[in-house]
């Protein structure tokens, strides 16, 4: 669950949640929806700019999921809220008519450090 002292930051215009501002002493840390830092501790305005620059486009990109045994699997985000992210296998999650055995979903609690960009 995202900590209660994190402040949600919404995109100007449509007010869509795009990240969090986590307190760090007199500064804040811009955090993604996954609870992953997107930058160093900084002032409020600069942290908001980092979130707005990052936007939500990263949600459409594949991510590496670090499994409990240390292996990595390429996944995509299927759902996300303040408590969890639902992931599917990057090769099959978005395929229409996929067989049931390829429809497995993985739920990861937030915030998490188990996901990194698959670039």
pTM of the full predicted structure? 0.77
Q: What is the mean pLDDT of the chain?
A: 89
Phi, psi of 108 (to 5 degrees): -125, 130
**How far is Cα 64 from Cα 70, in angstroms, rounded to an integer?**
11
What would the pLDDT profile of 69-111 be if each residue is shown by its tens digit?
A: 999 999 999 899 889 999 988 887 665 555 556 567 899 999 9
What would the pLDDT profile of 21-53 be if each residue is shown by its tens digit?
A: 999 999 999 999 999 899 999 999 999 999 999
Instruction: Judge whether 31 and 20 are in contact, CB under 8 Å.
Output: yes
Q: For position 58, what pLDDT does the model report?
A: 81
Cα separations in angstroms, 71 against 37, 57, 93? 22, 26, 19
Residue linked to tokens 């986590």: 22
Which residues lie across from 22 on neighbouring strands? Answer: 29
């Amino acid at each position: 669950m995202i900590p209660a002292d994190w402040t949600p930051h919404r995109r100007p215009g449509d007010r869509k949640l795009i990240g969090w501002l986590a307190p760090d002493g007199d500064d804040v840390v811009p955090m993604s929806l996954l609870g992953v830092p997107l930058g160093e501790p900084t002032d409020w305005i600069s942290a908001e700019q980092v979130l707005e620059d990052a936007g939500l486009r990263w949600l459409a990109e594949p991510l590496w999921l670090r499994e409990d045994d240390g292996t990595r699997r390429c996944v995509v985000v299927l759902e996300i809220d303040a408590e969890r992210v639902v992931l599917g296998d990057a090769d099959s999650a978005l395929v229409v008519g996929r067989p049931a055995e390829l429809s497995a979903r993985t739920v990861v609690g937030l915030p998490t450090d188990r996901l990194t960009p698959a670039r």
